Amino acid sequence: MHNGTMTAEKTITFIVKRQDSPNSTPYEETFHIPYRPNMNVISALMEIRKNPKNAKGQDTTAITWDMNCLEEVCGACSMVINGKPRQSCTALVDQLEQPIRLEPMSTFPVVRDLQVDRSRMFDSLKRVKAWIPIDGTHDLGPGPRMPEKKRQWAYELSKCMTCGVCLEACPNVNSKSNFIGPAPLSQVRLFNAHPTGEMNKEERLHAIMGDGGLANCGNSQNCVQSCPKGIPLTTSIAALNRATTIQSFKDFFGSDEI
């Protein structure tokens, strides 16, 4: 038999956890699609969307999911694939065990199917002031330079794409906890390291010293193992533990000289 004929007959099976609305009951639906070499999960979902029929041959609705850049930069396409939270754009079908199971991340409220609301993450970034405040819109000229040694590790932290995978992997981030999670904590370290961002250092440290902050971290280290960008999240958390301890002494003694 010709190889092309064999490839054409090969199919991939997907079992997708679906949910029609935020409050409806989730259910599973199975799909078979023709195999093509070098497919990723998103291209498979697009194939289903072209002709939404389930494995029983019944017409169904197109699956909903988030995506944008398709090159692991935006972080939008996070979902749980075969039990592991990851980016669906870099999840290659050839490297996945079949049937391929797709589920929405459970840490965030489901909007529909595989699409979730990640507002929890963005609200945490607001809480820790994860940006560099600028006074006015006029040209301030070049800012202070960051030492090269510091810039190297700060660049690694800046790779965070707010994908939510580390929050999904963390056992301490759930519906019964208000823990802000690893990503926002690491962003505190990033912006406190910036020569201009350092002006708001105490404010950021105080934000993570309260309820839902550093004290809620159980040091499971799931976050650093699951991060698609290999960001040293546990290193950041350890550094912040030291920084908040020093800040506590400053607060107690009322001195900036510590």
CA dihedral 37, 82, 111, 126 (to 10 degrees): -100
Is residue 104 in some structural domain? yes
Residues 154 and 240 in one domain: yes
Residues 247 and 131 occupy one common structural domain? yes
Residue 57 is part of a domain; what is its CATH number?
3.10.20.30
Q: Are residues 86 and 198 in the same domain?
A: no
Judge whether 26 lies within some domain.
yes
Look at residues 96, 116, 136 and tell me which one is the last residue of a structural domain.
Answer: 116
- Provide the residue-wise pLDDT of the chain in tens; the chain has 258 residues: 444 444 457 999 999 999 999 999 999 999 999 999 999 999 999 999 999 999 999 999 999 999 999 999 999 999 999 999 999 999 999 999 999 999 999 999 999 999 999 999 999 999 999 998 877 778 878 888 899 999 999 999 999 999 999 999 999 998 888 999 999 999 999 999 999 899 999 999 999 999 999 999 999 999 999 999 999 999 999 999 999 999 999 999 876 554
Which two three-digit tokens encode residue 117?
A: 């609301």
One domain for residues 109 and 148: no
197 in any annotated domain = yes
Instruction: Flag whether the pTM goes above 0.85.
Output: yes
Overall domain count for the chain:
2
Whether residues 135 and 65 share a domain: the answer is no
221 occurs within a structural domain: yes
- Determine, yes or no, domain membership for 154: yes
State which of 116, 146, 164 marks the end of a domain.
116
How far is residue 12 from each of residues 99, 101, 244, measured CA to CA in Å?
7, 11, 50
Residues 148 and 235 in one domain: yes
Q: 248 and 123 in one domain?
A: yes
Are 131 and 99 within one domain? no
Q: What is the largest CA-CA distance in the chain?
A: 82
CB contact burial 93-119 (16+ within 10 A = b; e otherwise): beebeeebbbbbbebbebbbbbbbebe
Tokens 């070499």 found at: 37
Residue 226 within any structural domain of the chain: yes
Domain that holds residue 159: 119-253
- Describe the strand order of the beta sheet including 27-34 as a list of residue ranges: 27-34, 11-18, 100-103, 78-81, 84-87
Assess whether 171 and 104 both reside in one domain.
no
Residue 234 sits in a domain whose CATH number is 1.10.1060.10
**H/E element, 11:** strand 11-18
Q: Identify the pLDDT of residue 4.
A: 45
Judge whether 136 lies within some domain: yes
Same domain, residue pair 73 and 147: no
According to the model, what pLDDT value does residue 225 have?
95
- Residues 238 and 131 occupy one common structural domain: yes
258 within some domain: no
In sequence order, what are the residues at sequence separation of 6 or more whose Cβ sits closer than 8 angstroms to the Cβ of residue 162?
75, 118, 121, 122, 125, 183
Same domain, yes or no, for 91 and 125?
Answer: no
Of 80, 101, 116, which residue constitutes the final position of a domain? Answer: 116
Instruction: Give 186-205 pLDDT, tens digit per residue.
Output: 999 999 999 989 999 999 99
